[in-house]
């Protein structure tokens, strides 16, 4: 009896074929030693896309700053009404300058033209400052909460832009928008400055002061926009602040004179004439005599902090120092304008009481007393400090309010 051959097609399993049944033994893989695995190089597999900038909230990159600034400027100047307003502003300043100089140019005296041009230059700078105070709060105080209401702020926060880049970008856009009025005023202001013999340092001080105030008003508007939810509320608060320091402050300062008057013993000096001929001959003068009595003395210097942040006072502080008293008497060749008169008045009012305030004698009189001069207290350092501290604080608040993730939200706040 023969044995059938083994192989395929014979029904007998082949000895060389691997067994796949349940009785087959599983193959074992030796464990891998972790120490033998080479370390992974992070540079070999770079992450997809761009990572967030280092520094988190305070990261600042020129590209991110320019991106936010360009977006803000495109959004603000896309309306034709903006160009119409700037064109009307330029024509208005040109018209004021021409109409004011036209009568003076018909005269043959150069001194008249110089004085008129100098006064008109100072008045135009005041108009530029007031225009900036009217326009900048409306543009900056609704920037952050306006984007939040429109649902576009969340897109910026979810991008690689840091909160500092978003805030500073909006700040630069507001600064450029506010300074547009100053730039467009230069074609009419520079000829007036040349005709009025305004020094280059005076012009630079005026320009720097307007730029600084524009920066501060824009920063405060951004802070209010980040704190409040409604755009209308932040704009109203910004205008209330500007109106308070510009109008309400001087009113309160003037009213304070009614209860800041003290009764003090004052020595006053008057001129006495021996006869009527000495009175008619002013060149000979009389005799200066002293008289002591109790009078009411105004202490306006005690309420002077109300005038420190006033924008007009800060702009007037840029005027050069002039001897205004001698100018009115024809004894000085001072170049007087609106800002220098304002500066002289504020310096005199803010000075503490001095014996020379009650000296009514002429220097040509006999026995003229040497009482010295009152101390002139500058106003601009306190004004710069007040505006600067509030502006930097507002920027810090705006950056903190834009941090992500947001920890606390008010009711009804829209994210996207």
pLDDT in tens, the chain (416 residues): 444 444 444 444 444 444 444 444 444 555 555 555 555 554 445 444 444 455 577 777 888 889 888 888 888 776 777 788 888 888 888 888 787 777 766 765 666 788 888 999 999 999 999 999 998 998 888 888 888 887 788 788 888 888 899 999 999 998 998 888 889 888 888 988 888 889 999 999 999 999 999 999 999 999 999 998 888 999 999 999 999 999 999 999 988 888 887 777 777 777 777 655 555 555 556 788 887 877 777 778 888 889 999 999 999 999 887 665 554 444 445 578 889 889 988 888 877 776 666 677 777 777 777 776 667 788 899 999 999 999 999 999 999 988 877 677 666 666 65
Per-residue pLDDT at 350? 79
- pTM for this structure? 0.77
Q: Are residues 210 and 124 in the same domain?
A: yes
Same domain (yes/no): 370, 389? no
Residue 381: the pLDDT is 92
Q: Is residue 157 part of a domain?
A: yes
Say whether both 171 and 185 belong to one domain.
yes
Domain-located, residue 110: yes
Other Cβ atoms less than 10 A from the Cβ of 314: the count is 24
Rounded-to-integer distance, Cα 331 and Cα 226, Å: 55
Query: What pLDDT is recorded for position 76?
Result: 75
Q: Is 265 helix (H, G, I), strand (E, B) or coil?
A: strand
Q: What is the pLDDT of residue 234?
A: 92
Q: How far apart are CA 224 and CA 114, in angstroms?
A: 44
Do 270 and 167 have their domain in common? no
406 inside domain = no
Q: Which residues contact 111 (CB under 8 A, 6 or more apart)?
A: none
Burial class (CB in 10 A: 0-12, 13-18, 19+), 250: middle
Q: Which pLDDT value is given to residue 14?
A: 47
Residues 238, 329, single domain; the answer is: no
Q: How many domains does the chain have?
A: 2
Is there a single domain that holds both residue 236 and residue 330? Answer: no
* Statement to judge: residues 129 and 242 lie in one domain: yes
- In this structure, the answer to whether residues 70 and 207 fall within a common structural domain is yes
Gap between the Cα atoms of 127 and 133, Å rounded: 10
Q: With respect to residue 206, please indicate whether it lies within any of the assigned structural domains.
A: yes
226 plus 294 within the same structural domain = no
Residues 109, 97: Cα–Cα separation, whole Å: 19
Residue 43 placed within a domain: no
Q: How far apart are CA 198 and CA 320, in angstroms?
A: 10
Query: Is residue 19 assigned to a domain?
Result: no
Closest to 104 (Cα-Cα) out of 203, 198, 195: 195
Co-location of 128 and 204 in the same domain: yes
- Residue 271 belongs to some domain of the structure: yes
Same domain, 265 and 233: no
Give the integer Cα–Cα distance in Å for 198 and 326.
20
Instruction: Verify that 117 and 175 share a domain, yes or no.
Output: yes
Distance of CA 102 to the CA centre of its chain: 36
**Closest to 243 (Cα-Cα) out of 133, 97, 323:** 133
Let me know if residue 195 belongs to a domain.
Answer: yes
Measured distance CA(321)–CA(341) in Å, rounded: 10
Cβ atoms of residues 161 and 67 within 8 Å: yes
List beta partners, residue 298. 261
Domain encompassing residue 322: 261-298+318-377
């Amino acid at each position: 009896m023969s044995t059938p051959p083994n192989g395929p097609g014979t029904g007998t399993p082949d000895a060389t074929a691997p067994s796949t049944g349940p009785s087959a033994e599983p193959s074992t893989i030796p464990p891998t030693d972790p120490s033998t695995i080479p370390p992974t190089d992070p540079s070999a597999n770079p992450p997809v896309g761009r990572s967030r900038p280092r520094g988190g909230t305070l990261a600042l990159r020129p590209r991110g700053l320019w991106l936010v600034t360009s977006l803000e400027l495109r959004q603000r100047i896309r309306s034709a009404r903006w160009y119409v307003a700037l064109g009307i502003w330029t024509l208005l300043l040109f018209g004021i300058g021409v109409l004011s100089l036209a009568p003076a140019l018909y005269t043959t005296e150069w001194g008249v033209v110089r004085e008129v041009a100098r006064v008109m230059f100072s008045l135009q700078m005041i108009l530029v400052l007031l225009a900036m105070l009217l326009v900048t709060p409306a543009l900056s105080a609704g920037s952050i909460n306006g984007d939040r209401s429109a649902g576009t702020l969340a897109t910026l926060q979810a991008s690689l832009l840091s909160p500092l880049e978003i805030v500073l970008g909006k700040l630069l856009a507001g600064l450029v928008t506010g300074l547009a009025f100053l730039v467009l005023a230069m074609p009419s202001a520079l000829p007036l400055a040349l005709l009025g013999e305004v020094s280059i340092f005076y012009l630079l001080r005026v320009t720097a002061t307007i730029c600084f105030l524009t920066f501060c008003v824009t920063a405060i508007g951004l802070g209010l926009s980040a704190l409040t939810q409604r755009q209308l509320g932040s704009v109203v608060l910004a205008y209330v602040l500007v109106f308070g320091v510009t109008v309400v402050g001087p009113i309160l300062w003037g009213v304070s004179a009614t209860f800041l008057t003290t009764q003090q013993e004052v020595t006053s000096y008057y001129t006495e004439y021996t006869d009527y001929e000495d009175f008619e001959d002013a060149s000979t003068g009389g005799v200066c005599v002293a008289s002591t009595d109790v009078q009411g003395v105004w202490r306006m210097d005690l309420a002077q902090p109300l005038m420190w942040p006033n924008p007009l006072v800060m702009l007037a502080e840029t005027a050069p120092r002039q001897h205004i008293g001698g100018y009115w008497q024809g004894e000085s060749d001072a170049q007087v304008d609106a800002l220098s008169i304002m500066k002289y008045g504020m310096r005199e009012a803010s000075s503490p009481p001095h014996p020379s305030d009650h000296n009514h004698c002429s220097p040509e009189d006999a026995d003229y007393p040497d009482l010295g001069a009152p101390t002139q207290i500058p106003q601009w350092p306190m004004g710069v400090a007040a505006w600067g501290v509030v502006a930097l604080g507002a920027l810090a608040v705006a950056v903190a309010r834009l941090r992500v993730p947001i920890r606390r939200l008010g009711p009804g706040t829209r994210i996207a």
